[in-house]
C-alpha cells in the first residue's frame, strides 16, 4: 500500500461522508417542505433530466400519464407483497386513494426534490469512486474493498427504494427504511475511513470499566437509532393528521399524534441522561487531548442541540427549517457515536491516578 493510494482513498471517502450528511439534510428539507412528490416519476422529473419551471412546459395530460404509471407500479409491488405474505400492506397500497390523485405542479417543490436527487447522484458517484480506489487495499485490508463495493450495491438498493417512496406517495414504512439505509451507508463509509486511517490497532487495556464504557456507547447508539425510527413514525403520523384533519391549525397537529409523540419526547430525556453518564465516564478514562474525549464533547453538544430543536418543533408549530435540522442533527449524532465506538477500539485508556 503506497502513501498516495491511501491519501486518495481517505480524501475521497471523507468527501463522500460530507456529501452523505448534505444529502440527509436535503432529504430533510424535501420532507419538511412537502416536496417529496415534486417529481411524480423517477429517475427523471416529469420525464425530463432538467425539470420544468412553469406549468406551460408540461405536456398535455401529464397528470393522467403519471398516475397510470404509478398505479401499475404499485400493483406490481402489491403482488410481490402478497406473495411474501404481507397481504394487509398490499391491501393498503391498492386502496390508498392518495396514490390515485395527481399531484398539482409546483415549481419550487419540483426543484427542491430535483436538487435532492442531484445531490444523491453526486453522492453515488463518490461512493463508486471510493469503491474504485479501495482496490488498492485488496491485499492489505480486504474488508475496505468489500465494504466499499457493498456500499455501492446499497446505494443501488436505496435508489430503487427511493422510487418506491415516490410511487407509493411516501408510504410510511418505505420512508423509515429509506432513512435507516441512509444511516447504514453512512456507517460503512465512516468505518472504511476509520480502518484505512488507523488499521486494526486494538485497545491497550481490557479492564472491566473500559468494556462497560464501550458497551454503554453501543447501547446509546442503539437508543439513537430507536429515536430515529420513532421520530420518522411521528412525522408520518403528523402528515396523516395534516391530510385528514385539514380543519386543525398547524399548532394542533402534534397533540393529535398521541402516544408515539409523547414517547419520543420522553425518550429524549433518557438519551440525555445516558449520554451525560457516558461523558462523565469518558472524562475519567481519556485525556482531554484524545479524540475519544473530544467526540464525547461533540456528542453531548449534539444531544443538547437536538433537544432544543425538538422543543422548537413541539412549541412553535413545527417550523420546516427546524424539521430539517432535527434530521441532520440526528444523523450527525449517529455518526459521532459510531465513530466514538470505533475510537474506543484503538485509543489508549487513560487511568490517571486511579
Q: What are the tens digits of pLDDT across the range 277-323? A: 999 999 988 888 889 999 999 999 999 999 999 999 888 888 889 98
Confidence of residue 182 (pLDDT cuts 50, 70, 90): very high
Residue 242 CA neighbour count, 13 Å, CB half: 13
* Residue for grid cell 444531544: 303
Distance (Å, rounded) from C-alpha 300 to C-alpha 337? 10
Q: Which of 8-17, 49-58, 208-217, 338-347 has the highest mean pLDDT?
A: 8-17
pLDDT of 296: 94
Looking at 160, 180, 200, which one is the last position of a domain? 200
Rounded to a whole number of angstroms, the distance between the first and last alpha carbons of the chain is 41
Q: Which of 235, 177, 212, 191 is nearest to 33 (CA)?
A: 235
Q: Answer yes or no: is pLDDT of 5 > 50.
A: yes
Give the percent of the chain with pLDDT over 90: 44
258, 306 Cβ separation under 8 angstroms:
no
The answer on 231 and 190 residing in a single domain is: no
Distance (Å, rounded) from C-alpha 234 to C-alpha 230? 6
Confidence of residue 354 (pLDDT cuts 50, 70, 90): very low
The answer on 174 and 65 residing in a single domain is: yes
Q: How many domains in the chain?
A: 2
The answer on 246 and 118 residing in a single domain is: no
The answer on 185 and 286 residing in a single domain is: no
Three-state SS across 13-50? HHHHHHHHHHHHHHHHHHHHHCCCCCCCCCCCECCECC
The answer on 331 and 261 residing in a single domain is: yes
Taking the CB of residue 112, how many other CB atoms lie within 10 A of it?
A: 19
Domain residue limits at 134: 1-200
Q: Which of 140, 159, 122 is nearest to 130 (CA)?
A: 122
Looking at 165, 200, 235, which one is the last position of a domain? 200
**What CATH number does residue 350 fall under?**
1.20.120
28, 131 Cβ separation under 8 angstroms:
no
Mean pLDDT for the stretch of residues 315-333: 90
According to DSSP H, which parts of the chain are helical? 3-33, 62-84, 87-94, 107-133, 142-167, 172-198, 208-244, 253-257, 259-285, 291-315, 320-344
9, 196 Cβ separation under 8 angstroms:
yes
Distance (Å, rounded) from C-alpha 221 to C-alpha 344? 14
Q: Which of 44, 40, 48, 43 is nearest to 64 (CA)?
A: 40
Q: Answer yes or no: is pLDDT of 201 > 60.
A: no
Cis peptide before 43 (omega within 30 of 0): yes
Q: Output 301 or 164, whichever has higher pLDDT.
A: 301
Q: Answer yes or no: is pLDDT of 172 > 90.
A: no
- pLDDT one-digit tens code per residue, 24-34: 999 889 888 87
The answer on 186 and 83 residing in a single domain is: yes
Strand partners, 294: none
The answer on 15 and 126 residing in a single domain is: yes
Q: Which of 171, 216, 190 is nearest to 14 (CA)?
A: 190
Looking at 131, 166, 200, which one is the last position of a domain? 200
Q: Per mean pLDDT, which range of 83-92, 116-125, 132-141, 344-353 is the poorest?
A: 344-353
Name every residue whose Cβ is closer than 8 Å to that of residue 180 and which is 6 or more positions away in sequence: 225, 228, 229
What is the DSSP-derived secondary structure letter of residue 251? G
The answer on 182 and 130 residing in a single domain is: yes
Q: Quote the cell numbers at residue 279.
A: 461523558
For 154, the 3-state DSSP assignment is helix
Mean pLDDT for the stretch of residues 204-223: 79
The answer on 114 and 59 residing in a single domain is: yes
Mean pLDDT for the stretch of residues 251-276: 82
Q: Which of 133, 149, 193, 131 is nearest to 1 (CA)?
A: 133
The answer on 159 and 11 residing in a single domain is: yes
The answer on 289 and 225 residing in a single domain is: yes
The answer on 104 and 2 residing in a single domain is: yes
Amino acid at each position: 500500500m503506497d502513501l498516495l493510494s491511501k491519501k486518495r482513498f481517505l480524501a475521497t471517502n471523507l468527501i463522500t461522508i460530507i456529501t452523505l450528511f448534505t444529502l440527509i439534510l436535503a432529504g430533510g428539507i424535501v420532507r419538511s417542505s412537502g416536496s417529496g412528490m415534486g417529481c411524480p416519476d423517477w429517475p427523471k422529473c416529469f420525464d425530463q433530466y432538467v425539470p420544468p419551471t412553469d406549468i406551460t412546459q408540461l405536456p398535455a395530460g401529464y397528470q393522467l400519464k403519471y398516475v397510470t404509471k404509478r398505479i401499475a407500479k404499485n400493483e406490481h409491488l402489491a403482488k410481490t407483497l402478497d406473495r411474501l405474505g404481507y397481504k394487509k400492506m398490499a391491501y393498503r397500497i391498492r386502496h390508498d386513494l392518495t396514490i390515485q390523485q395527481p399531484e398539482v405542479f409546483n415549481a419550487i417543490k419540483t426543484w427542491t426534490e430535483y436538487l435532492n436527487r442531484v445531490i444523491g447522484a453526486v453522492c453515488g458517484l463518490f461512493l463508486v469512486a471510493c469503491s474504485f480506489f479501495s482496490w488498492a487495499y485488496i491485499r492489505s485490508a480486504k474488508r475496505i474493498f468489500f465494504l466499499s463495493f457493498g456500499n455501492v450495491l446499497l446505494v443501488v438498493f436505496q435508489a430503487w427504494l427511493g422510487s418506491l417512496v415516490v410511487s407509493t406517495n411516501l408510504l410510511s414504512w418505505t420512508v423509515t427504511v429509506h432513512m435507516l439505509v441512509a444511516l447504514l451507508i453512512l456507517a460503512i463509509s465512516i468505518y472504511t475511513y476509520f480502518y484505512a486511517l488507523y488499521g486494526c490497532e486494538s485497545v491497550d487495556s481490557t479492564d472491566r470499566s473500559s468494556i462497560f464504557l464501550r458497551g454503554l456507547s453501543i447501547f446509546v447508539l442503539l437508543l439513537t437509532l430507536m429515536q430515529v425510527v420513532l421520530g420518522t413514525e411521528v412525522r408520518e403520523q403528523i402528515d396523516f393528521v395534516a391530510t385528514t384533519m385539514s380543519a386543525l391549525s398547524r399548532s394542533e397537529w402534534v397533540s393529535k399524534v398521541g402516544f408515539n409523540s409523547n414517547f419520543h419526547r420522553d425518550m429524549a430525556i433518557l438519551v440525555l441522561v445516558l449520554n451525560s453518564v457516558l461523558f462523565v465516564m469518558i472524562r475519567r478514562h481519556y485525556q482531554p487531548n484524545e479524540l475519544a474525549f473530544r467526540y464525547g464533547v461533540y456528542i453531548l453538544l449534539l444531544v443538547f442541540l437536538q433537544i432544543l430543536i425538538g422543543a422548537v418543533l413541539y412549541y412553535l408549530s413545527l417550523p420546516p427549517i427546524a424539521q430539517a435540522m432535527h434530521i441532520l442533527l440526528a444523523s450527525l449524532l449517529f455518526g459521532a457515536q459510531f465513530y466514538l465506538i470505533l475510537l474506543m477500539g484503538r485509543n489508549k485508556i487513560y487511568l490517571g491516578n486511579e
